[in-house]
Chain A
């Protein structure tokens, strides 16, 4: 499958990928720093963060809100320029957004002035061209058949999020950057979406960086869970999730899952206590 790794696609991707397997979509955060300086303030959102995500790996980035998760994701997406350090994807430093790195946020960013089908076909239209019937089949897979000609405002929140995922998949990115994509959904819709995502990922093997503040969601979905410290964000610990795939939401009842969850929670608790002490000291 083409994942924008076609050498004729873009001259800038002609550099050799360091990944010897020939897979694409490896992300390396190299001493990433990001500070915000809104009028007089000085907010260090991310400080000296290192993280390697292998090509086709599913990594969850877990952390309390305000710890800098979205900042990291926006640096990888190419929306924000790091204050120091860099993001390297397949050996090339990130400078701008690229269709190879698809993004989904909690609040959908579907174009409200385009129909669902036009939204889904937008990416392909920007490069190789629209393949007849492809949007329909992806929408069908997402359970959105019959809504091709609807505008996003006519859909429920869950359906909008599915349409957003359809738009991302139609663009066939090597990397999917997902910022709490399901946190605004009700429990049932959330579970359906998690299942869909696992299904799609296990089939296509893209790299996924999935941000969440939900411990169970992180363990259910990811190969590895990277836990962040409180702001300024850094990686506190990385937990390997050695639960067989394909997984489905039932694994949350297994002993191994419970063990991993307890481990993750103890790291988070430790971090929360440290953050509190820090606040007291300040």
Chain B
């Protein structure tokens, strides 16, 4: 292919056919395209999609759910299910943050603690969080704390690993500078190690929150009793495909909102960074 052809194609994409579209319009277009594709897949029965609902029916079901209609035989509304899932994520992530950050800082700064704790943690790290469900059910018989434990496991490792990594990559120059200004090891920890590690911690928490949502849905499908994961799975058993779609939208929305909240908080806490 000659360069002129490539240039012509590039121009078509970049400036030719959609030259005047603003960012907002293009973003809207992406959603419209997605809905169109979904609708077409269902209408023409591509793969098994003819058994699934289209966007129009889903929208109706979504509006009905949002109006406060009970979603499952328990009588809970979508708000209550969403609140349950969000509560589990919030509690689990909070505990994970409170445990993993101090632990990561300790392991990262102390060779001795690293040797004592890290190998054991490394053994558990590759175990997918959902594999903890049976143990959680046996040890914590109330389903609520069981799910929270599993979500905690999901959020814990990314925060821990990123915190450790962050401590280990703190530049020695800053530690030296602090020492030359009269800082002792406590001051160096507080004024250098912790703030220098913060960007890594923020990354860890972002990943942890993402994993927490994945884990909460999976755990609720197995053992939830209530929550968005639970209604998605109930709906599957009852073949209420529009409810499955509504549940997925709800999870997507909650995940998006929480990721944005973490991103904003993290951005604020590390506002001194050049890349901001």
Q: Point out the residues of chain B lying under 8 angstroms from A126, CB to CB.
A: 181-184, 187
Closest beta carbon of chain B to A79's beta carbon, Å: 5
Q: Are A96 and B179 in contact (CB under 8 A)?
A: yes
Q: Are B192 and A97 in contact (CB under 8 A)?
A: no
Closest to B274 in A: A153
Distance of A151 Cα from B275 Cα, bound (Å): 13
Closest beta carbon of chain A to B89's beta carbon, Å: 29
Instruction: Say if the beta carbon of B191 comes within 8 Å of chain A.
Output: yes
Given contacts A111-B192, A153-B273, contact A122 B180 (CB under 8 A): no
Interface residues of A (CB under 8 A from B): 77-79, 96-99, 101-103, 105, 107, 109, 111-114, 122-123, 126-127, 151-153, 167, 171
Interface residues of B (CB under 8 A from A): 173-174, 176-184, 187, 191-192, 195-196, 198, 270-274
Q: Point out the residues of chain B lying under 8 angstroms from A152, CB to CB.
A: 272
Q: Are B177 and A99 in contact (CB under 8 A)?
A: no
Interface of B is mostly: helix
Q: Point out the residues of chain A lying under 8 angstroms from B177, CB to CB.
A: 103, 109, 111
Closest beta carbon of chain B to A142's beta carbon, Å: 17
Closest beta carbon of chain A to B99's beta carbon, Å: 24
Contact of A98 among B178, B180, B270 (CB under 8 A): B180
Q: Are B181 and A99 in contact (CB under 8 A)?
A: yes
Beyond contacts A102-B181, A151-B271: 20 other A-B pairs, Cβ-Cβ < 8 A, are A96-B179, A97-B180, A98-B180, A99-B180, A103-B177, A107-B173, A109-B174, A109-B176, A111-B174, A111-B191, A111-B195, A112-B272, A113-B196, A114-B272, A122-B183, A126-B187, A127-B182, A152-B272, A153-B274, A171-B181
Most chain B Cβ neighbours within 10 Å, of A96, A101, A102, A122: A122
Q: Point out the residues of chain B lying under 8 angstroms from A109, CB to CB.
A: 173-174, 176-177
Q: Point out the residues of chain B lying under 8 angstroms from A97, CB to CB.
A: 176, 179-180
Closest beta carbon of chain B to A100's beta carbon, Å: 9
Distance of A176 Cα from B82 Cα, bound (Å): 61
Contact of B272 among A79, A113, A122 (CB under 8 A): A113
Closest beta carbon of chain A to B23's beta carbon, Å: 27
Q: Point out the residues of chain A lying under 8 angstroms from B187, CB to CB.
A: 126
Q: Which 5 A-B pairs have the closest CB atoms?
A: A99-B182, A97-B179, A126-B182, A123-B181, A113-B195
Distance of A77 Cα from B181 Cα, bound (Å): 11
Distance of A2 Cα from B192 Cα, bound (Å): 26
Q: Point out the residues of chain B lying under 8 angstroms from A127, CB to CB.
A: 182
